[in-house]
Structures are given as structure tokens and as C-alpha cells.
Chains A and B, each alone.
Chain A
Amino acid sequence: MKFRISRSALVEAVSQVSKAVSQKTTVPILTGVKASVDEDGLWLTGSNSDLTIQVCVPVKKDDKEQVKVETIGSVVLPGRIFSDIVRKLPGKSVDWVVDEQWKTILRSEQAQFELKGLDPEEYPRLPQLREDRMFSLPADLLKSMIRQTGFAVSTSEARGVLTGVLWQISSGKLTFVATDSHRLSRRQADVEAPEDLSVENVVVPGKSLSELGKILADQTGWVDVVLSENQVMVRADNLLFFSRLLDGTYPDTNRVIPNSGKTEVLLNTKELLQSVDRAALISRDGQDNVIKWTMKGEDTVQVHSASQDVGSVLEEVGAQVNGEEMSISFNAQFMLEALRAVDSDEIQIHFTGTMTPFVIQPADREDALHLIVPIRTR
């Protein structure tokens, strides 16, 4: 294998795949980055066996030659040191030569590195996904869907499928659901999918999704998503992202979402966010971050929080209240996270009772929903 590559393109690609490479793995080959070069360009692959990132440096970009291939081939190089070397090489381009024993020579102007490579055959194969279960959506939409649901996954490893986000598709509508059993977030969006594509139980690990969110950060345009039994693949420009799926059946969440409310409140998101944030100051050192809301009359919500050691806070927020008067206690942190995820100036909250979950929705849309379970207080 022998080729020449532009250093800036290589640095860019290496920094992308390095995100997937973990140093603390028990599988030695996964500490490496796989590089293979063919007629299309250079493919770099990094993996920690749960998620895999593959980046392509195409031969030509904007009519500029980036890779000049002489002979094709592949090699696995130690990840950490390889990315450090590439970043610090002096020249504008890198000559890359690999011999039969996977000894790799990287040459750039006056510097020449010799690296011991590993057998690329030992690197885990990427799954070949059939493209029949595929849909497309704008990268921005996918990012915002991840942002609006990803925070609600359970962080406790013992919770199995609840550490992931459920993906469902029916008649062209993609639904993300995440819950840690104290709160739930759901986001729906229309995507470009075949009419008959129906997906019931695909659970993507929360960690993979947050990683995906970072990788898509500077992507615009559309991405393709391909689903298989045990993998999901996201394809963007010159980039493939694979994640393994979580094993198990996601619980039916539709049953916990109430359809109608006893009391409905309409509020300004920003005002509410700030008031909850203030109230949380008092209770944040306590156990559950509890704050209490009392709906009074038709135009105010009283926000109250007290802590035995610290003191208390009381504040009134203007709102449109419809329905019964009631008071309810809940975890302020959940509320804050939900409010930050809502991309809307006004929100609507449906209460069904002091002891039953309530629902936060943007006032102008139906596609997002956050549900919080209240806390029983004396």
C-alpha cells in the first residue's frame, strides 16, 4: 500500500475517527485505527466495538486532488500515537508506505516516522447492512431530535434498554422516546421513508447518540439512516457512523402519557425557566431537588421551594390557568432539562392530578412532549 495524502484532510479525518477509539478496551486491536486505501480514496475506521466511525478522504474534493493512490491496501495503526503524529507532521502532504509486515512509513518533508502496524484482517468487520430499511432526514433535524430526547435516558447501567432511545417509524413519521422512568421525552418528525417501512423496537444507546450529535455538529444537508437487526448506520458526507443496538424490548410508553388534563397552564418558556432555576437554588443541595407549584386563580402560578437548612423561596409567575386549582411537587432538575430542550417561546402544561404525571408541550406544536412524574410530599 502506497499513497500520498494532503495533511489537512488527513488530520480532519483522523480527529473524527479518534472519537470512537477507546484506550481502555480489552481488545488490543480496537486501540488502533484502520486505514485502507482504494480507488475512491482513503478510508479510516475507529471503533470501540459499541460504536464505529468510518471516514472517507475522497481522491478529489472540489477538483483538488487530496489522495494520490499508487497501490491499494490496508493496515491498522496504534490510534493515540498515530493521531498525535499526524497532527504534528511538518509538511503539507504525507507520503504513506506500508510493507508486507505492516510496517508503516509516514514521511512529510524532513520528518519520517516508522510505525509498527497490525494485521487489518484482525480488525472487526463492519456489518453489511441491507438498504431496505432506510430513511433520510436533514442532519439538523436529527441533531435536534437527539438533543431533545437524549438527556432523558437513564444513566444507570443496570436499567438495560432504558439507557437508550427508542426509535419508531410508522407511515413516514419518526418517533424518538427516552425515559428513565421518572420522566419521559418524546419527539416526532416527518422523514423521507418508504410508505411501508415500519419499525417498532429499535433502541439506540444514549451514549452513541450523544457521540453522533457531536459528529454531526458541523454537518449540514441530509443524512441517511439504515437499520438492521443489531446495528444502526447513519451516513453523512464521507462519513459513516455505526452503533450497536441495545438488546431487549422497550416498554410501552403510550400508556403513561395522559390524553386530557384537569388543569391546563400556558406560560412563557423563558420566564418559567428562570423562575424554576431560581427556585432550584434553594433545593438543589437537598435530596430530590423538590420545588412546589400552586396554581391560583386564573393568572398566576406560585413557585415555592423550601429547605430546612437553607431557607425558602416564593415567587409568582404570570400564566393562563384553565381548570381546577391544585398544587404539585416535582424535581426541578427534570423541569429545567425539559424546558431547555423545548424550542418554543410558549409552553403548555397539562396536569391530571397531584400524584399523576404531567405533560409539558410547546404551545404551538404537537411533535414534542416531556412528561414528568411528581414527587409525593407531606
Chain B
Amino acid sequence: MSLNEVFGQQQVVQLLKRGLRTGRIAHAYCFAGPRGVGKTRTAQQLAKALNCLNGKEDACDECIHCQRIDHGNDPGVMKVSPDGQTIKIDQVRAIQRAFSYSPPENATRVIMIEHADAMTVQAANSLLKFLEEPTSRMVAILITENLHALLPTIRSRCQLLRFPALSPERIAQYLKEEGYDPETSRIAAHLAAGLDDARGRMEEDEFALLCERVIKWSGEIASGSSEALVSVQTQILETGRERLETVLDLLLLWLRDLLNDRLGREEQPVFARWSESRRRQSSRWTIDRLTDGMHAIIDARRQLAGPVQAQAVLERMVLVMQGGAVNAVSRRSPF
């Protein structure tokens, strides 16, 4: 793979290629953007392009340098990622130690720091001088999902490249070209931040089944029956704690479809396959209750991140959604 083949980041790639062509590559970059949009991949390709024997503005993918970097066998390309929760000062020192040796001729050494925001303050501070005054030809690439968690002193030493989130339509399109089921792809694309993430979801078993379950549950909530509470226990919690967030995201997307339907918008629904359920369920909601319901879901989603029992959060959410606006006053959650 090469820079040209990085999916959906034309702007960033153009910028880097222009830099490579004119020889004006910064000594430190900060790649910032949500998960799964291709930051690490772009960094890897940049490292290859910088050291490639054949191509100047892109990696040829065939020469020995490109191959070595691809297989992680190039001592000049170093990758650092958090050791446990954080990137420790010793890891940063180890890089600097490697850089006290003079470089091989005609090589540009590349350091990639993944999750750069996880650097401890000490680690980040020990990196400052190194970033500012490179002793030899090098490019540092700091990769982060959370730009503002980086120390401002680090941030100001890097050229910032933002990786925008990919639009769900493009991801869905791409997945379709890869041969996945187009309707499910659309849902996965809306849930995921990037192509890899979406592809991962498509490859999960029972993704379509999960959608089915959520829609059925939503029907129960809409009908106001206490079945919905039972389903929390029997259907939803069974999917596993780590998938609850996906469940809530799906529910939110579904409610958005319902809202679009009620408002009579022309927008293409995310859940295309379930038009029958959509028609049936949307007739049971009012616009106000839908928006309140969506609020409740977002609240629950946030609470799940905290140290709370999932069942309690979900049951409360169902009650709020069924009780309508009256109970939703307690939206100012205690968390």
C-alpha cells in the first residue's frame, strides 16, 4: 500500500505528497482525528515514502526499504504506543537514546507515537527539546484521537494535520464495493468512526441480528408495555456489557429514522430493510416524545461510561422513554 491508497484522506495525502515533492517535510507532525480514519496507516506510508528508493512523492511498495518498514524490520522507523495506560518517560528516553547514534546515510528516521495524548507529563516534557531541535534528519509523527489532551508546548512544536471523520455514505459505498451486504453496511457505516471500525462491525457475527433485536425492543418501548423492561433483562443485557453502547447507538439511529419519518423528511433511512416496522412504530410516537426519548438514550449512553450498573441505567431509560416528557424532567442526572 502507498500514500495514494489511504482511504478517504485525499486532503491530507495531497498535502504530504506536496511536501515530499518539494522536499518540505516538517520535522514533526501531529495527526489528529477520530479512531479508524487512517492516521496510523498514513504515518506508516509516510515513513515508507520518506525512505523509498524508487519513488519520491510516494512509496513504491516494492523496494527493500518499503518492504522492511512494512514488516517492522527497519531499525530507523520506531513505533511507540502506550505501555499500559500511559506512555512512560523511559519509553521516550529509549527513543532519544537510539537517536544519539548517527544515522545511516541517506536515511530519514521516523518515530511514530501512537496515542500521543497518553504520554505522561514527564514523558511529554522530556520530548520537547528533542522535537524542537532534531539532531539529524528525522520526522516525528504524533498520533492522537484527543488533540486537546496534548500539552500545548508539544502541540505548538508540530505541524497539525487533521484527519476528518469519513462520511457514513462513503464508508457504506466502500463496504458495498468490498462485497458486504449494502443495507447492513449502511448501518455499520453510521455507527463507526472509520472504515476499519465499520468493517470490523460487519465481520462481527450477528450484527444484523442485533439490529433486529434493537428494533423489536424499540417497538416494545413504543407500545408502552412492560415487556420492554423484561427485554432489558432477557434480550439486551445478554448481548454483553461491551456491546451495550452499540445497542444504544443503534437505538438512537433508529429513533432518528422514526423522527425523519414523522417529520416527513425525504432523507434515506439508515435502516432501509425495516420500512414496515418503521411505519408501524413511528405512528405510535409524537415528535416531542421522540426527541425526549433520544435525550434519554444519550443520557444513558453517558451514564454507561461511569461506574453504574448497566441494568439500572437501561431500565431507567426505558421508563423515561415510556413515561414521556413528564418523567424526563429528571433528565438532570445525578452523575
Interface-facing stretch out of A239-247, A328-336, A355-363: A239-247
Interface presence of A122 (CB below 8 A): yes
A245/B105 contact (C-beta < 8 A), A28-B72, A28-B73 known: no
Which residues of B have CB within 8 Å of A245?
101-102
Q: How many chain B residues touch A (Cβ–Cβ < 8 Å)? A: 22
Interface presence of A323 (CB below 8 A): no
Identify the closest chain B residue to A29 (Cβ). Answer: B73
Q: CB < 8 Å: which of B68, B93, B135, B136 contacts A122? A: B68
Q: Are B99 and A230 in contact (CB under 8 A)?
A: no
Interface presence of B310 (CB below 8 A): no
> Could you tell me which residues of chain B, from 36 to 77, have a CB within 8 Å of some CB in chain A?
64, 67-68, 71-75
> Could you tell me which residues of chain B, from 83 to 104, have a CB within 8 Å of some CB in chain A?
93, 96-97, 99-104
Interface presence of B78 (CB below 8 A): yes
CA distance A167 to B97 in the complex (A): 21
Which residues of A have CB within 8 Å of B316?
none
Q: Are A122 and B105 in contact (CB under 8 A)?
A: no
CA distance A40 to B233 in the complex (A): 75
CA distance A205 to B99 in the complex (A): 13
Q: CB < 8 Å: which of A30, A157, A246 contacts B75? A: A30
User: In the complex, how many angstroms separate the beta carbon of A163 from the nearest chain B beta carbon?
Assistant: 7
Q: Are A26 and B79 in contact (CB under 8 A)?
A: yes
> Could you tell me which residues of chain A, from 25 to 62, have a CB within 8 Å of some CB in chain B?
26-30, 49-50
Q: CB < 8 Å: which of A30, A127, A246, A248 contacts B105? A: A127
Q: Are A163 and B72 in contact (CB under 8 A)?
A: no
User: In the complex, how many angstroms separate the beta carbon of B259 from the nearest chain A beta carbon?
Assistant: 51
A244/B97 contact (C-beta < 8 A), A27-B72, A122-B67, A122-B71 known: no
Identify the closest chain A residue to B75 (Cβ). Answer: A49
Interface presence of A121 (CB below 8 A): yes
Q: Are B93 and A157 in contact (CB under 8 A)?
A: yes
CA distance A26 to B96 in the complex (A): 15
CA distance A246 to B68 in the complex (A): 24
Q: Are A160 and B100 in contact (CB under 8 A)?
A: yes
Which residues of A have CB within 8 Å of B97?
157
Which residues of A have CB within 8 Å of B67?
121-122
Counting chain A CB atoms within 10 Å of each CB, which of B68, B74, B93, B100 scores highest? B100
Q: Are A127 and B104 in contact (CB under 8 A)?
A: yes
A122/B102 contact (C-beta < 8 A), A157-B97, A247-B136 known: no
User: In the complex, how many angstroms separate the beta carbon of A252 from the nearest chain B beta carbon?
Assistant: 19
A230/B105 contact (C-beta < 8 A), A26-B78, A121-B67, A124-B75 known: yes
User: How many A residues are at the interface, by size bracket?
Assistant: 20 to 34
CA distance A331 to B245 in the complex (A): 64
Which residues of B have CB within 8 Å of A26?
72, 78-79
CA distance A243 to B315 in the complex (A): 66
Interface presence of A63 (CB below 8 A): no
CA distance A109 to B68 in the complex (A): 37
Q: CB < 8 Å: which of B71, B75, B101, B105 contacts A247? A: B101
> Could you tell me which residues of chain A, from 197 to 229, have a CB within 8 Å of some CB in chain B?
205, 229
Which residues of A have CB within 8 Å of B73?
27-30, 122-123
Interface membership of chain A positions 311-346, coded 1 if the CB is closer than 8 angstroms to chain B and 0 otherwise: 000000000000000000000000000000000000
Which residues of A have CB within 8 Å of B135?
247-248
CA distance A49 to B104 in the complex (A): 10
CA distance A34 to B323 in the complex (A): 72
Counting chain B CB atoms within 10 Å of each CB, which of A30, A160, A244 scores highest? A244
CA distance A50 to B75 in the complex (A): 10
CA distance A121 to B71 in the complex (A): 12
Q: Are A244 and B102 in contact (CB under 8 A)?
A: yes
Q: CB < 8 Å: which of A27, A50, A205, A229 contacts B74? A: A27
CA distance A110 to B102 in the complex (A): 48
CA distance A51 to B199 in the complex (A): 43
Which residues of B have CB within 8 Å of A160?
100
Which residues of B have CB within 8 Å of A157?
93, 96-97, 100
Q: Are B102 and A230 in contact (CB under 8 A)?
A: yes
CA distance A30 to B73 in the complex (A): 8
Q: Are B104 and A230 in contact (CB under 8 A)?
A: yes
Interface membership of chain A positions 154-181, coded 1 if the CB is closer than 8 angstroms to chain B and 0 otherwise: 0001101101000000000000000000
> Could you tell me which residues of chain B, from 79 to 127, have a CB within 8 Å of some CB in chain A?
79, 93, 96-97, 99-105
Which residues of A have CB within 8 Å of B136?
247
User: In the complex, how many angstroms separate the beta carbon of A243 from the nearest chain B beta carbon?
Assistant: 9
Interface membership of chain A positions 51-89, coded 1 if the CB is closer than 8 angstroms to chain B and 0 otherwise: 000000000000000000000000000000000000000
Which residues of A have CB within 8 Å of B104?
127, 230
CA distance A248 to B134 in the complex (A): 12
Q: Are B100 and A163 in contact (CB under 8 A)?
A: yes
Which residues of B have CB within 8 Å of A122?
64, 67-68, 71, 73
Identify the closest chain B residue to A208 (Cβ). Answer: B101
Q: CB < 8 Å: which of A123, A127, A158, A205 contacts B101? A: A205
User: In the complex, how many angstroms separate the beta carbon of B109 from the nearest chain A beta carbon?
Assistant: 11
Which residues of A have CB within 8 Å of B99?
247
CA distance A246 to B135 in the complex (A): 11
CA distance A27 to B73 in the complex (A): 5
Which residues of A have CB within 8 Å of B105?
127, 229-230
User: In the complex, how many angstroms separate the beta carbon of B69 from the nearest chain A beta carbon?
Assistant: 10
Q: Are B78 and A246 in contact (CB under 8 A)?
A: no
A247/B68 contact (C-beta < 8 A), A26-B79, A49-B75 known: no
CA distance A113 to B103 in the complex (A): 38
CA distance A26 to B98 in the complex (A): 12
- On A, residues with C-beta under 8 Å from B are 26-30, 49-50, 121-124, 127, 157-158, 160-161, 163, 205, 229-230, 244-248
- 14 A-B pairs within 8 Å (CB atoms) are namely A27-B75, A29-B71, A29-B73, A49-B75, A121-B64, A122-B73, A157-B93, A229-B102, A229-B105, A230-B102, A230-B104, A245-B102, A246-B100, A247-B102
Across the A-B interface, give the 4 residue pairs with the lowest CB-CB distance, nearest first: A230-B102, A49-B75, A29-B73, A244-B101
